[in-house]
């Protein structure tokens, strides 16, 4: 765990990075917003509930990549070639562009640039033992799990994505989240950011 002074440095970096990112990327964000809005009915953003620091729920910002009421039509996990995903949504998901609005969550204090990926409440309620450490810090846009499971839909496959996630992915993902919490350093955060950008640029 980071010391109090290092936590303040991390938060200052988060605010500066999120603000700079929003300023630099606003033309791209505006174009994506228009594409999402005109392709299918529904809002521009997906505002699903996730579990944050100390177990507090918050609404995550993502560009909407699915048809309206997608969670009522299917499960919380997205299968490979999921029919709920829109045409624009497939492109946004492939290049992780749907995650860009989470810079707002970082600015508002719900998330950090680097930290355990936020999880659905129904899964965080199952945390036990060391997994509870995950909720001691702010969730993040990227972390070890993001790097290891970069194209998660490919891993989940085309059928029964929720079952595959729960049986094969959830515990491994939590182990990587715990690893981040127990080993985090400011230098490690920079390494994760650089590796994430490298993966995105190679797509």
Looking at the structure of the chain, the number of domains it has is: 1
Lowest pLDDT segment from 6-15, 35-44, 99-108, 133-142: 35-44
- Integer Cα distance of 56 and 173 in angstroms: 20
Q: Is the pLDDT of residue 203 over 70?
A: no
> By the 8 A CB rule, do 105 and 19 touch?
no
- Tokens matching residue 120: 């659905």
Q: How confident is the model at residue 1 (pLDDT cuts 50, 70, 90)?
A: confident
Nearest residue to 99 via CA among 68, 60, 71, 135: 60
Tell me which residue range forms the domain holding 66. Answer: 4-201
pLDDT of residue 76: 63
DSSP assignment of 121-151 equals HHHHTT--GGGGGGGGS--EEE-HHHHHTTT
């Amino acid at each position: 765990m980071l010391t109090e002074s290092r936590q303040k440095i991390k938060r200052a970096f988060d605010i500066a990075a999120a603000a700079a990112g929003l300023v630099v990327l606003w033309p791209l964000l505006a174009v994506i917003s228009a594409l999402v809005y005109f392709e299918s009915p529904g809002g521009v953003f997906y505002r699903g509930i996730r579990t944050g620091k100390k177990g507090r729920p918050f609404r995550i910002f993502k560009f909407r990549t699915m048809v309206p009421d997608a969670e009522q039509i299917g499960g919380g996990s997205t299968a490979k070639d999921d029919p709920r995903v829109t045409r624009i949504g497939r492109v946004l998901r492939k290049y992780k562009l749907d995650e860009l609005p989470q810079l707002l969550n970082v600015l508002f204090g719900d998330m950090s640039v680097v930290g355990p990926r936020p999880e659905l409440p129904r899964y965080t309620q199952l945390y036990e033992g060391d997994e509870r450490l995950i909720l001691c810090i702010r969730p993040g846009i990227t972390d070890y799990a993001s790097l290891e499971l970069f194209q998660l839909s490919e891993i989940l496959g085309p059928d029964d994505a929720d079952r595959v996630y729960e049986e094969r992915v959830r515990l491994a993902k939590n182990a990587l989240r715990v690893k981040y919490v127990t080993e985090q350093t400011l230098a490690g955060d920079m390494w994760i950011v650089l590796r994430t950008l490298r993966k995105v640029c190679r797509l």
